[in-house]
Amino acid sequence: MSLAESDAAPPFPSNGDQIPAVLLRNALKVMGLVYVLSIGIWSIAAVKLPLENHVPFAAGGLLAVIYGLVIYGLPRHHHASFGYANLVTSLRAGFVSLVGATVLLSEGFGNAQSDGLVWAICGAVLFALALDGVDGYLARKFRQQSELGARFDMEVDALLIMVLAMAALALGKAGIWVLAIGGMRYLYFVAQHYVVALRRDLPPSHRRKLVCVIQVVSLCLVVTPVVQEPLSGWICLLALVSLTYSFAVDIRFQLKA
């Protein structure tokens, strides 16, 4: 679960390096193919669920922005090819983009007849979750670990958690405070620009990995139609407490280092 390191990661740096032409071509080819595949999947989903026409268009726009940021970060990928790991992460980004567009823009999400749509969203989340860890394994197997790959992976996870927190709010499963689960990562990102100590590296931690899994699993469970208040609120609260503890431990370490 790549978000495990997200509470320690600095913003994407720009070192002025030129992107090797072969890497740029390969990255554009991989992301282009995944983008077309995603459009096909979204089109099928729009017919089957159904979804309003503007939802897949919004998902496409979001995915294009994500891929644009990946291109910006390519100087931090010191390999000749984009790699199988980043291909998997690109595919996960496609699913997360559609889930995000559905939660934010579909009028059918959250109404009394939306159970089928909600279950479909949960299925997409579980599929994306199943792919998580595969990218890390592939990066290690083919020796293509990079700062870009790790950051790409964790940001997709962070976006997924934010979207699930919004879904929990939209479905009335918890109060507006649930957005703190998804927003804490981004508040930390902003704080890094003002507090130099928060840019210090953190040692690897199984705790962060576990806490990240707790966030995704808890929010996905809460979003399902079978979990209602007050149980849903308590599950979200426990997830938030665990996340707050994880951030507190790491921030304390950084400030004391």
Predicted confidence at residue 2, as pLDDT, reads: 39
pLDDT per position as a tens digit, 38-74:
999 888 888 888 788 899 999 999 999 999 999 999 9
Q: What is the DSSP string of 12-58?
A: PP---PPPPHHHHHHHHHHHHHHHHHHHHHHHHHHHHTT--THHHHH
Predicted confidence at residue 94, as pLDDT, reads: 95
C-alpha closest to that of 211 among 165, 186, 246: 246
Predicted confidence at residue 169, as pLDDT, reads: 95
- Give me the phi and psi of 187, to 5 degrees please: -65, -40
For the record, the structure tokens of 58 come out as 């919004």
For the record, the structure tokens of 151 come out as 């950051």
Q: Is the peptide bond before 13 cis (omega within 30 degrees of 0)?
A: no
pTM of the model: 0.89
> Which DSSP symbol is given to 42?
H
Q: Residue 20 contacts by C-beta under 8 Å, 6 or more apart in sequence?
A: 80
Predicted confidence at residue 17, as pLDDT, reads: 64
Q: Where are the domains of the chain?
A: 2-256
Predicted confidence at residue 185, as pLDDT, reads: 93
Segments of the chain with pLDDT less than 70 = 1-17, 112-113
Sign of CA dihedral 91, 71, 153, 192: negative
Q: Residue 175 contacts by C-beta under 8 Å, 6 or more apart in sequence?
A: 169, 233
Q: What is the DSSP string of 193-256?
A: TT-GGGGS-----HHHHHHHHHHHHHHHHHHSTT--TTHHHHHHHHHHHHHHHHHHHHHHHHHH
